[in-house]
Chains A and B, each alone.
Chain A
Amino acid sequence: DAGVTQSPTHLIKTRGQQVTLRCSPKSGHDTVSWYQQALGQGPQFIFQYYEEEERQRGNFPDRFSGHQFPNYSSELNVNALLLGDSALYLCASSLASGSFNEQFFGPGTRLTVL
């Protein structure tokens, strides 16, 4: 059973560019959350998708947007990249219904903005 997968593993961009990160949830999961982890910090919640809609959003500007597809996979898009967007971007999947299920995290995409 494959866990959460993310692509690409690493990415280097320059300021002002746009980037798309991809995530495939763990089999059977229907909810995808995205987190940003800056160096030396804990992960910060960006947003969460369920039933192809953004259900909850953290304190991130509109430059950060996302999408969820019918197969539950998800994309994170960041426009007009800033140096401060350099971070590890983590995708997590979970089940929306049922008990208090934990989130399973992918290995992350390391984004470097030059």
Chain B
Amino acid sequence: AQSVAQPEDQVNVAEGNPLTVKCTYSVSGNPYLFWYVQYPNRGLQFLLKYITGDNLVKGSYGFEAEFNKSQTSFHLKKPSALVSDSALYFCAVRDPYRFTGGGNKLTFGTGTQLKVEL
């Protein structure tokens, strides 16, 4: 079974400082990895994904993620944090693609609350 782990329940960072939200994965086969963000009383918003190719993936709102196969990690990063980045972040892994439809079930981590302070 595929899984992701987010080892930190909460990450605190000062505005303007770089931020990292950690994620490690366990999959059989190629990993298809995603980051989503959730603001209070809202659904999940897609940030970025890794399917194949460059290990550094760029996404929305200035976020990027670094895929590291040897460490089975997919950490989310941003060079300069904003107070408005404060939210709940989820790492997810997707089932392998199946042509007949379906197969894109997402398995989520438990989430990391990011708090950016002035």
Binding site for B on A (CB under 8 A): 4, 30-31, 33, 35, 41-45, 48, 50-51, 55-56, 58, 90, 92, 94, 96-97, 99-108
Complex CA distance for A58 and B109, rounded to whole angstroms: 15
Lowest 8 A-B CB distances belong to which pairs? A55-B102, A42-B108, A50-B101, A96-B101, A105-B43, A105-B44, A107-B43, A100-B51
A51–B49 CB distance below 8 A: no
B4 to chain A, nearest CB (A): 9
Classify the interface of chain B: helix, strand, loop or mixed. loop
Closest partner residue, chain A, to B90 (CB atom): A42
The total of interchain contacts (Cβ-Cβ below 8 angstroms) comes to: 77
A100 with B103: CB separation less than 8 A: no
Q: A100-B49, A102-B34, A105-B45 are in contact. Are A42 and B111 (CB under 8 A)?
A: yes
Taking CB atoms, residues of chain A closer than 8 Å to B90 are 42-43
